[in-house]
Structure 1
């Protein structure tokens, strides 16, 4: 499964980067290809390419604020959670993404 996402917290410092790291580690551990863009106080880092977004099976938005460029993900299956969920339960979050995709494929 290919996962892309965005992490952005209200302050744009700690939780943004912790959420990114935890989601990427959990995704890789589960055997998925994952790339997480961060939108913090110093701007956008690890910006997702249009190809990465196009090829993604699912998008995870771990955000407490409005995401810049959200329209890039139009038409994609999106899971929206607070950054706290990505920080505290990254493995459960990846499992949820897997379940959402299974449900989509079953339809």
Structure 2
């Protein structure tokens, strides 16, 4: 499964990057490819390209603040989660992403 994520938090510092790392580790541990863009206090890093969006199976976005350029994910399945939840429960969130994709395949 190809996962894209965007993490951002109100202060744009620690949780943004902690969430990106936790999500990356959880996805890789389960055998998925992942790229996580961070939208922190120093701007957007690890920018997701249009061709990556086309190839992605699912998008995971943090919802604690507005994600810039969110419209580029239109038509893709999206999971919106709190940045703190990503830090603490990344494994559960990746499992939920697997569930969402499995349900779409069954339809």
Do these two structures clear the TM 0.5 threshold for a shared fold by scoring above it? yes
Q: TM tier, shorter chain?
A: over 0.9
TM-score of the superposed pair, with normalisation by structure 2: 0.98
- Alignment RMSD: 0.6
What is the 5 A alignment of 1:35-74? Answer: 35-74=35-74
Given that 1:6 and 1:61 are in contact with CA atoms closer than 8 Å, whether structure 2 keeps it comes out as: yes
List, as ranges, runs of 4+ consecutive aligned residues in structure 1 with deviation greater than 4 Å.
none
Residue 7 (structure 2) pairs with residue 7 (structure 1): yes
1:86 counterpart residue number? 86
Structure 1: how far apart are the matches of 2:72 and 2:40?
18
Give unpaired runs (5+ residues) of structure 2: none
Structure 2: how far apart are the matches of 1:3 and 1:30?
12
Given that 1:6 and 1:63 are in contact with CA atoms closer than 8 Å, whether structure 2 keeps it comes out as: no
1:26 counterpart residue number? 26
TM-score of the superposed pair, with normalisation by structure 1: 0.98
1:99 counterpart residue number? 99
3-state SS, counterpart of residue 20 of structure 2? helix
Give unpaired runs (5+ residues) of structure 1: none
Q: How far apart are 1:103 and its partner, in Å?
A: 0.8
Give the count of matched residue pairs: 107
